[in-house]
Amino acid sequence: MAQKRKTSGTDSKPTAVRRIIAKYGGQTRAIIPILQDIQDRERWLSSQVLEEVARELDVPLAHVYSVATFYKSLSLEPRGRHICTVCMGTACHVRGGTAILEHFERRLRIRAGQTSPDREYTLERVNCLGACALAPLVVADGRYYSQMTESKANAVLETLGRRSERPHRNPSGAGRRR
Amino acid sequence: MAKALTRMTAEEIIGEITASGLRGRGGAGFPTGRKWDLCRREKARPKYLICNGDEGDPGAFMDRSVLEADPHAVLEGMVVGAKAVGAAKGFIYIRNEYPLALERMGIAIRQGRKLGLLGKDILGSGFDFDLEIVRGAGAFVSGEETALIASIEGQRAFPRPRPPYPAQHGLWGQPTVINNVETWANIPSIIRRGAAWFSGLGTETSKGTKIFSLVGKINNTGLVEVPMGIRLRDIVFGIGGGIPGGREFKAVQIGGPSGGCIPNQLLDLPVDYESLSRAGAMMGSGGMIVMDEDTCMVDIALYFLRFTQEESCGKCAPCRIGTRQMAEILARIAAGEGGPEDLKKLEELALTVKHGSLCGLGQTAPNPVLSTMRYFLDEYRAHIDDRRCPALVCKNLITFVIEPEKCVGCLLCLKNCPANAVAGEPKKVHVIDQAACIKCGACFNVCPPKIRAVSKTTP
């Protein structure tokens, strides 16, 4: 079933990655939770980290990348200090979730999936958070905000330290006409 | 659980589950007893159990609620299943998006071990069984059983062709029973109260009760547990209390991205596996999204196709390329740039994707398109022939205007317009510059309900 980690490495300094891998007994099948735990700590997965995981688990780097790029909860880019997640489930969609997402894009001047250049904010869309009775839903830094409107969204952004401002004409190309 | 462990044989447990008529609650509706029996007959050891809690259908949250509110029912069901098929180890796969469910299931498992209800020699019966939680990583396709198995093994969640079925060749090639959360949670009641009690509920082919999440444009939103065979009308207008704001009911979308839209004229349909499939929808995991006259069916079809296109794992061509082509055609129609040949193309593509795809994701991906074309073809025609969106949703086909006789010049829309497209002065009628308007709807939303000077129009 699962393969044990080979004792490897010339130096045996217990790095964070090694500690996390040890927690899962060095099993290669635990690669997904290992990457998740590393990401919870570092907020993203750098190429150095992926190389270290491949070395420690004794699997090809290509395998680590195949997993890291497949799953949406794993990020190969640095994420912001504040995470805004806009739910795009069907219930949120029929109750106007798209307009809420576009509002966040305009206010944060980034597109969904992007992080602001100052690494303060990451804007994400999620397929469904399973809280459909509260639609449309936004999660900001782990807090759930229900029945979103544009003005409620401004209040949420304010709690994250984004002051309201007079919007500019067509900021950052977001909300462009199709 | 104690009854099953101490007073029933494996054959008796499977006999009881088979007699109850329980069918998988995850969507496809395979008879649970038959699945267990297939696995029991396999000689290979070890065998595994999996609880599929990767509830990915947008608009559905029954499994989250069961995992958070009654994780013990799932544990009990799995111990019973383990005894029935002879498994010593089980895995509970829960979506990453459900932190509370992950936490509570962890507590329940620790409690079970402490009380001797999990682990070695459960209740002194000599039977061993233990469970492990696996956290999902955000991929819709991992709800497909073979893809989920790949994910537990630490691979990308790619599905593989069946047969062989997981009951014969599953996790690490071993016989594996994989059932949905709700299915497992049904087991303890069936064992305790008997197959006859369970099969006394529901219809000829669909027994027992089913939980649905009733959401969208409906007054009472939330979860409902109803006997199989209940009429849709009783759910939407009885339990759900109808549509808010005096709007007109248009359709109810059942079965997530694999499902379809059921129109008004089919509201008396009984809710069971077969009736829903015949109507072009699907039981799915049980999401019911109610839509009113303000929902555009072309937009909904586009929404689901974008979803499946994004979530397609990319392994097989019909799904990977087909969903993309379909989404592009739908986007064209929604933008008012569709031609009369597009409908035929859509239908052809839909059938190719349906028949050519490897797993359930691709095979059912065209359902939202086919069902909306079947019941709401006039809306597609309006977008193509008249370049109009009757539900006033598709941005390219609508314009926002301020009615001069209603506008009081309060500046609200002007201040909230992100594109600076509103011109006006205090107490003077405002005007929207159509060339600058990005159709975000901010003006429409902020105009006070008493005034309602901003309106949407379509040609």
Asked if the Cβ–Cβ distance from A70 to B256 is below 8 Å, we say no
| Partner A contacted by B45 (CB < 8 A) | no
pLDDT digits (tens, 9 = 90+) for B347-386: 999 999 999 999 999 999 999 999 999 999 999 999 999 9
Do A110 and A148 sit in the same domain of this protein?
A: yes
Question: What are the CA-CA distances from residue B286 to residues B182, B230, B260 (Å)?
Answer: 10, 14, 12
pLDDT digits (tens, 9 = 90+) for B122-176: 999 999 999 999 999 999 999 999 999 999 999 999 999 999 999 999 999 999 9
- For residue B16, give how far its alpha carbon lies from the nearest alpha carbon of chain A (Å): 33
Of A35, A90, A170, the CB nearest to B58: A90
Cβ proximity of A172 and A110 under 8 Å: yes
For each of the domains in chain B, give its residue range(s) and CATH number, in order of start.
Answer: 2-199 (3.40.50.11540), 209-292 (3.10.20.600), 297-385 (1.20.1440.230), 398-457 (3.30.70.20)
Do A90 and A149 sit in the same domain of this protein?
A: yes
**A12 pLDDT above the threshold of 80:** no
- For residue A76, give how far its alpha carbon lies from the nearest alpha carbon of chain B (Å): 14
- For residue A58, give how far its alpha carbon lies from the nearest alpha carbon of chain B (Å): 14
**Residue A6 falls inside a structural domain:** no
pLDDT digits (tens, 9 = 90+) for A26-65: 999 999 999 999 999 998 999 999 999 999 999 999 999 9
Identify the closest residue of chain A to B251 by CA–CA distance: A94
Asked if the Cβ–Cβ distance from B60 to A132 is below 8 Å, we say yes
Provide the ipTM.
0.90
Hey, of B50, B92, B132, B156, which one would you mutate to test binding to chain A, going by the most A CBs within 10 A of its CB?
B156
Identify the closest residue of chain B to A175 by CA–CA distance: B438
**Residue A75 falls inside a structural domain:** no
Do A41 and A64 sit in the same domain of this protein?
A: yes
pLDDT digits (tens, 9 = 90+) for B71-95: 999 999 999 999 999 999 999 999 9
**Residue A5 falls inside a structural domain:** no
Asked if residue B368 has a cis previous peptide bond (ω within 30° of 0), the answer is no
Residue B363 has, within 13 A of its CA and on its CB side, a CA count of 9
Q: What is the DSSP letter of A84?
A: E
Q: Is B281 helix (H, G, I), strand (E, B) or coil?
A: coil
**Residue A45 falls inside a structural domain:** yes
**Residue A4 falls inside a structural domain:** no
**Residue A56 falls inside a structural domain:** yes
CA distance linking residue B84 with residue B39, whole number of Å: 9
Q: Residue B236 has what pLDDT?
A: 96
Do A108 and A57 sit in the same domain of this protein?
A: no
Domains held by chain A: number: 2
Residue-number span of the structural domain to which A30 is assigned: 16-70
Closest CA to B81 of B21, B134, B33: B33
CA dihedral of residues B280, B284, B287, B289 (deg, nearest 10): -10
pLDDT digits (tens, 9 = 90+) for B279-293: 999 888 789 999 999
Asked if the Cβ–Cβ distance from A36 to B420 is below 8 Å, we say no
pLDDT digits (tens, 9 = 90+) for A107-164: 999 999 999 999 999 999 999 999 999 999 999 999 999 999 988 999 999 998 876 5
Asked if the Cβ–Cβ distance from A128 to B56 is below 8 Å, we say yes
| Partner B contacted by A73 (CB < 8 A) | yes
| Partner B contacted by A62 (CB < 8 A) | no
Do A98 and A124 sit in the same domain of this protein?
A: yes
Asked if the Cβ–Cβ distance from A175 to B438 is below 8 Å, we say yes
Query: Is residue B28 very low, low, confident or very high in pLDDT (cuts 50, 70, 90)?
Result: confident
What's the burial of B366, exposed, middle or buried (CB within 10 Å: 0-12/13-18/19+)? buried
Mean pLDDT across chain B, nearest whole number?
Answer: 95
| Partner B contacted by A130 (CB < 8 A) | yes
Identify the closest residue of chain B to A88 by CA–CA distance: B58
